[in-house]
Amino acid sequence: MILRSQVRVLFIPLLFFLSVSAATGQSQMHFDCTSADAMMKVLLALHQHAAAATVDPLLEEALKFEAYRVSHERYTDPERSKENQVTLAEFRRFMRSFSGDRVDTRNNRRLVITKPLYDEAIANPDKFQKALETIRSFASSRFQDSFNLALSWLPTTPQLDIHVWVLFDIGGSGAWAFRTQDGKQNVGFNVLHLLDDQGEFDVELFAGTLAHEIHHLGDPLSGYFKATQYDRLDDASRLKLYTDYIQAMITEGMAMKFCNNAPGVLSPKPNPERDFAATRSNLAEWAEFQGQFAEIHRRAVKDLRKILGSPEIDREELKSDYDNYWTWRAGQKEGKTYTLGREYYYGTELLGVINIAFGREAVFECLLDMRKIPSLYNEGVKKIRPQEFDQYLYPEDTVKMIQELSAS
């Protein structure tokens, strides 16, 4: 056991450049741990019960790093709901309050989520420092593997210039992909989420999640949005309503299935030799959703029938219904805590079936035209013929209406 007075933290900055080849030219990744190193000094000072006069300057120095500017821009994005936002000023106040008698979250949802994670980091900073040292020693071939995996599941090969920030995040997310207003492509990794149940750095989780976020930055649905002229579609267009409904399921499902190596009820892990790259809470959530798959599929059928067949659609009501069933917000309604949501899970089932039945090119066909998904999925279910497979099919009239959706 390491006593508080014995904890020694080494601050060796990691900032290196990795170039990987892509078909259309050079794609690049830049890895930066310097903000995490700086925040480790804050955590160590809090661990040693240092006074605010010692902690505050260390905190101000850490928050000067670009990683925190990017994180702030992400968590204050106007497209995020107010309940899901946190500012750098709020995070600063939150971190400073660890020097006092009571941690001040002001009941901000993001800070409430992240408080127990910081509690653990302050109590045991040596574990997180060890994780940073492991990342530094990570073989460049593993970064290359993650990059190659992401690119291999994109219908076209983009040219990417990605900045990967390893940081102690301000809002509690485990990892994220985000384009800042200056156009920079960013991936964030929250050190607080990188340890396994034994407190060790989870290499498979890191590698799989890196591929997942790179896949998002590869914009897998860009061809579909261009082909359907999505930006010109009227808000009442059934094609737009269908697209808005299914796009998160497909983008998240694609990355979870083929980058995180997710298992499904109807299709196995794509790589049976590797683990499902997921946190402990993700694994528990996944197992719950696997047990609900037939019910989840029925809900999707019901939603699509409403989108396609109702005389009038209240978009706000549709969005609220979606959020309260398909996203993490469902947990608030069900008295549970979801970190992903059913949209992640359901997308892996749809694409997993298509892949195992018809292969990668059929999956790419669906990315380029999402109207083909229900039809190819149905054909795939009939081909692999799981037990009682009829319960997993889309009604034929629903499939036909989706196939016939057009911009006109």
Q: pLDDT tens for residues 142-152?
A: 778 898 899 99
**Structural domains in the chain (count):** 2
Identity at 251, one-letter amino acid code: T
Q: Are strands 175-179 and 161-167 parallel, antiparallel or unpaired?
A: unpaired
The answer on 209 and 244 residing in a single domain is no
What does the pLDDT read at residue 25?
A: 55
146 and 72 in one domain? yes
Say whether both 188 and 245 belong to one domain. no
Task: State residue 201's pLDDT score.
Answer: 83
Per-residue pLDDT of the chain (408 residues; tens, 9 = 90+): 222 223 323 333 344 444 444 444 577 888 899 999 999 999 999 999 999 999 999 999 999 999 999 999 999 999 898 989 999 999 999 999 999 989 999 999 999 999 999 999 999 999 999 989 888 777 567 778 898 899 999 998 888 899 999 999 999 898 999 999 999 999 999 999 888 878 888 888 888 999 999 999 999 999 999 999 999 999 999 999 999 999 999 999 999 999 999 999 999 999 999 999 998 889 999 999 999 999 999 999 999 999 999 888 899 999 999 999 999 999 989 999 898 999 999 999 999 999 999 999 999 999 999 999 999 999 999 999 999 999 999 999 999 999 999 876
Mean pLDDT score across all residues of the chain: 90
Q: Is residue 67 part of a domain?
A: yes
Q: Is 390 found in the same domain as 287?
A: yes
Kindly state whether residues 316 and 295 are assigned to the same domain: yes
Residue 8 lies in a domain: no
Tokens for 177, please give them: 């992909």
**Could you report the per-residue pLDDT of 89-148, keeping only the tens digit for each?**
999 999 999 999 899 999 999 999 999 999 999 999 999 999 898 887 775 677 788 988
Examine the domain organization and report whether 205 and 246 are in the same domain. no
Do residues 211 and 254 both lie within one domain?
no
* pLDDT tens string 251-308: 999 999 999 999 999 999 999 999 999 988 899 999 999 999 999 999 999 999 999 9
Residue 5 lies in a domain: no
Domain final residue pick, 169, 192, 217: 217
The per-residue pLDDT for 381 is 98
Q: Are residues 143 and 93 in the same domain?
A: yes
Q: Are residues 158 and 232 in the same domain?
A: no
The whole-number pLDDT of residue 203 equals 84
Same domain, 149 and 282: no
Which of 217, 244, 267 is at the close of a domain? Answer: 217
Determine, yes or no, domain membership for 3: no
- Of the three residues 217, 248, 270, the one that is the final residue of a domain is 217
Q: Which domain holds residue 281?
A: 222-403
Q: Are residues 242 and 191 in the same domain?
A: no
**Same-domain check for residues 163 and 35:** yes
